[in-house]
Amino acid sequence: MLNQQRLQQLSDLMGERQWDTLVLYGHTWRKDFFRCLLNVNFSGPHAAAVVARAGHVQVIVADPWDAELIGESGIPATAASNFAEDLGWLASGKTGVAGMELMEAQFVEALRQPESATFAVEELRRVKSHEELACIRKAAELADRGYQRFVDAAAPGMTEYELVAEVEAFLKANGAEDNFMLIASGGTEVRGMKPPTGRKFREGDSVTTELTPQVNGYWAQICRTLVIGEPSAGQRESFAIFSEAQKAAEEFLRPGVNIADVARVQNDVFRKHGYGEYTGPKYTRVRGHGLGLHCDENPWILEEVNYTVKEGMVLIAHPNTYLPLAGYMVFGDSLLVTADGCTPLNHTERKLFRK
């Protein structure tokens, strides 16, 4: 439960920054800062691991069940009667706070000398250990199996929510702790993905999904596009561009490159084909992002984000965007950065699927 390697990293960081206390905060949606030290899927609305300079760890939670669960591991855990007050009592002196931007204002105000430790702790988390990579590999394998279930289950007349329910049930039955999933279906009118609706699949539809299962806290993602029936010329041409862009990112990605250039090489493919205007924020969010204890970790892969890629990072490169050829399309795999390049963690066939 307690990540001793991470605790040593955090203790070293506290010494460098002269923090007397380090708080790792999590809430219902963003548990990653807390779980990077204590990999517990707490159920309550708030949790914080408080680390003293000497390395002693205490935990404060909002739910008594969480306190009991954590306490069984031998780590002192308290269910707070007033989370802000109790947090302020545990933290002392100059305090770094990982996840401070996620906190309610009253929690920040309860701390004596708070400063954000978010970026520094994110930096520690970017390079994955062997144990972390084992979890991500399992999640990637489950993503592959989940997408095969997606393809097998999709059928004309089926609703988006019915298909998502089929995949969610499969993933949970096969070990997924959670799953972040978006979907879209239709033609050139589709501008992006969203939670599932009651729209029924029709002949000629592109059906896109971003499927992201979580295993032991860690996420892996796959993005693919399926066509109901025979793909049109526009769908085939669009997919060829997406495939070329993703391949460009994968061939370029290695330690030492700027993450901005990982985005640029993808965007340059669209520019080459005359679709440069569709690489901006009007039509797309990111060209990929980090993966780990959060399904959308920094650094985001954008031309305006400067960050030097490191060996041991896990990223997804996905040139997901809208094109007038066939509407919104997606394509991407989780990639582990190796000593001299990168290797895909997904093994689903790289093609435009059809059903």
Going from the first residue of the chain to its last (355 residues), give the mean pLDDT of each consecutive group of 10, the final group possibly shorter: 93 96 97 97 96 93 95 91 93 94 96 95 97 98 98 98 98 97 98 97 98 98 98 98 98 98 98 97 95 97 98 97 98 98 98 97
Query: Both 69 and 201 in a single domain?
Result: no
Q: Are the C-beta atoms of 190 and 201 separated by less than 8 Å?
A: no
Query: Both 275 and 343 in a single domain?
Result: yes
Identity at 279, one-letter amino acid code: T
pLDDT digit string, tens, across residues 175-202:
999 999 999 999 999 999 999 999 999 9
Question: What total number of domains does the chain contain?
Answer: 2
pLDDT digit string, tens, across residues 241-287:
999 999 999 999 999 999 999 999 999 999 999 999 999 999 999 99
Query: Both 198 and 76 in a single domain?
Result: no
Round to whole Å and give the CA distance between 94 and 23.
11
The model's pTM is: 0.96
Domain finish residue from 125, 142, 173: 125
Query: Both 208 and 224 in a single domain?
Result: yes
Domain finish residue from 109, 125, 141: 125
Domain region containing 96: 4-125
DSSP states along 264-306: HHHHHHHHHTT-GGGGSTTT-S-SEEE-SSSTTBSSP--TT--
Rounded (to 5) percent helix, strand, coil in the chain: 35, 25, 40
Domain finish residue from 125, 145, 179: 125
Query: Both 173 and 298 in a single domain?
Result: yes
Side-chain half-sphere CA neighbours of 169 within 13 A = 7
Task: Report the pLDDT value the prediction gives residue 129, as an integer from 0 to 100.
Answer: 97
Task: Report the pLDDT value the prediction gives residue 74, as an integer from 0 to 100.
Answer: 87
What's 89's domain CATH number?
A: 3.40.350.10
Whole-number Cα distances in Å, 313 to 6, 132, 161, 296 = 16, 11, 33, 13
Query: Both 73 and 112 in a single domain?
Result: yes
Enumerate the H helices of 54-99 as residue ranges: 64-71, 83-90
